[in-house]
Structure 1
Amino acid sequence: MRRALLFVCALLTLPVQAFELKPFSASYTADWKQLPISGTAERSLKRLDDGRWQLGFEAAMLVASLTEQSTFRVENDTFLPLNYRFNRSGLGKAKQVELDFDWTEKQVLGSDRGDPVRLLLNRGLQDKSTYQLVLQHDVADGKKSMSYQVVDGDEIETYDFRVLGEEQVETKAGTVDALKVERVRDPTQSNRKTILWFAKDWDYLLVRLHQVEKDGKEYQIMLEEGTVDGKPVKGRGK
């Protein structure tokens, strides 16, 4: 019994393996429930020559397109956004956002739909792209409830999430075991819904996203194929 207790104590004192950021690329099908056509989406993370990282997302269909790109660095396991660019066209909802994070002057400067943005920059603040990577990081670390400060328009909003449990997701890359995560919103303030699925065996890569907008329109992306650290994503049955 004593030996068993010592073994358990030794396990508990082992250092927790830190989440290692790995480059990835993934392609998705993109579907709008109210429209009879599908689109495509691409998401990628790559390391730049100077040690910074670049996270990109692109989605397109016949009548609309969206591009989003963040450049950031990681310092002591903290994600520090450097600049953020967003552009959406089509469907009568054009939008352009440009933000720069000045960590020396501790401020965020830029514009959102032509309106100036100037905010105080504190460590931990994320843009609307990098918080998704931080969420991926925290889910991999076993956290069940997460909260982030995110630049949203000309304000800083709190984004809350919770892990709902495990679920199998059928993709064109095969069946993957995933953690299902929900964006937590006050139902008296918003009827939007966002649910994400992260692949447990593939560095918690996003494999599915389902969103319901305020007007009831539904949007979903589903993994077609991807690579993590150069290795092709293969689920069961492939």
Structure 2
Amino acid sequence: MAHHTLLYRSGRLLGGLLLVAGESVLAQPVIDDISTIAAPAYTFPGELPPAQARYRVVVNGIPVGMDATITLTPHPKGYQLQFQAENRFFRHQEVAIFDWNNCTARPHHYRHASAGFGIKREGEIEFDWDAGQANGSKAVYPLADDALDALSVAMMARCNMARAEQSFEYAVAEPDGMDTYQYRFMEAETLETPAGKWQTVSVERDYPERGRRSRF
């Protein structure tokens, strides 16, 4: 199991973790300048090996006593990806079950639950691909052909990043309806952590309907 420090700068805690969820599964070299190269023909694994990573959450340079764990395991329907973050006052968990084929995720089930600070939230989706329908805990609605869930989208993002795509977006099924997640590559930078200096690539998510952005 790998241990890392997660530096949380802006946006939801979970959102900051999504793009590193596949770190132990589809590790690829960091590209310093994506504008100068063509997208390489990466060969992605046909099967995903089990993996787990644990993160220590830091907000504005201050440890908050919260651990976050990401675990990928085989499942009878394909794979299960689980994210969990908790401390004495707060707990958040998400679980996604999905198929994986040629660097494409096909979700079957997704659920999330948060509790703490007087707040309790939860939601769930069953993906009925035969009927082309999402059975969400807050709505039932038609599925987009390439719909993902809010957690398995992390696996897809690894593929887009490895191909050096400068922008990409996903149709994401939420408990109350379809949404669109939009991302774009930013510049490479050196990040200094307790484990040393790392060459990193920044990714920015746009929220057009909210007029804000989150950078990971």
User: Would you call these one fold, judging by a TM-score over 0.5?
Assistant: yes
Unaligned runs of 5+ in 1: 1-14, 197-238
Q: 1:165 to 1:22 in 2, by over 3 A?
A: farther
Number of the residue aligned with 2:143: 121
Which of residues 122, 136, 151 is equivalent to 2:158?
Answer: 136
Unaligned runs of 5+ in 2: 1-39
Which of residues 15, 26, 40 is equivalent to 2:53?
Answer: 26
Q: 1:107 to 1:185 in 2, by over 3 A?
A: same
Q: Deviations over 1:88-144 (max 9, x none)?
A: 001222111111111122111130xxxx32121232111111112211221112111
TM-score of the superposition, structure 1-length normalised?
0.66
Query: Are 2:113 and 1:87 equivalent residues in the alignment?
Result: yes
Asked whether the equivalents of residues 78 and 124 of structure 1 are also in contact (C-alpha less than 8 Å), the reply is no
Asked whether the equivalents of residues 82 and 95 of structure 2 are also in contact (C-alpha less than 8 Å), the reply is yes
Q: Deviations over 1:145-184 (max 9, x none)?
A: 0111112341211111001021223334443222110102
Query: Are 2:65 and 1:43 equivalent residues in the alignment?
Result: no
Which of residues 164, 170, 182 is equivalent to 2:192?
Answer: 170
TM-score of the superposition, structure 2-length normalised?
0.72
Number of the residue aligned with 1:99: 125
Structure number with greater CO (CA < 8 Å, separation at least 6) is: 2
* Cα RMSD for the two superposed structures: 2.4
Instruction: Work out which of the two has the higher radius of gyration on C-alpha atoms and give 1 or 2.
Output: 1
| Distance across 2 between alignment mates of 1:24 and 1:87 | 22
Deviation of 1:51 (Å): 6.3
SS in 2 for 1:26: strand
Amino acid corresponding to residue 84 of structure 1 in structure 2: Y
Aligned length: 175
| Distance across 2 between alignment mates of 1:106 and 1:183 | 27
Deviation of 1:191 (Å): 5.0
Identity %: 28
